[in-house]
Amino acid sequence: MRLLAVVAAALLLLPASALAATCPKATLGDVQDEVMCLQCGVPLNVAEEAPAAKRERVFIQSRIDRCESKQQIKDELVAQFGDRILADPKSNTAWLVPAIAFAAAAIAVALGARRWRRRRAPGPPAPTLGTSDSARLKADIERYDL
């Protein structure tokens, strides 16, 4: 009798575990950091109590309960609200600012190095002193020699 109960329980749990194995492992926290709160303009995981944030969380959780993947949920949100719902939209050009800053810094360093090298380049030789000037300089140096 006990064996029959154990076998029946195993058979009942088998479909649930098979369903869980095929269900994508999306979580609310996993999706929230990649989606923006449209009312606040911040990622959904940062938005506190905004009504729009609450509605988005409920929508995402309902899709997770339906066993949808993170990408499916994000695709549905984009279909409803457009790319502005994504924290990192495909048309994001934020990488341009650091790239331009890096290029400007590289040019500034190159120009500065070139200018520095020109200043340090040897100039024309110093003029030589005549014999009378040389003798006078030698006498002055000897006078101050301690």
Q: What is the pLDDT of residue 76?
A: 93
Q: Could you give the angle at which helices 70-81 and 51-65 cross, rounded to 10 degrees?
A: 140
CA neighbor of 55 nearest in space, from 70, 38, 78, 76: 38
> What pTM, to 2 d.p., does this model score?
0.49
Go through the domains of the chain in sequence order and give each one's CATH number: 22-108 (1.10.8)
Render pLDDT for 120-134 as a digit per residue (tens, 0 to 9).
Answer: 667 677 788 888 999
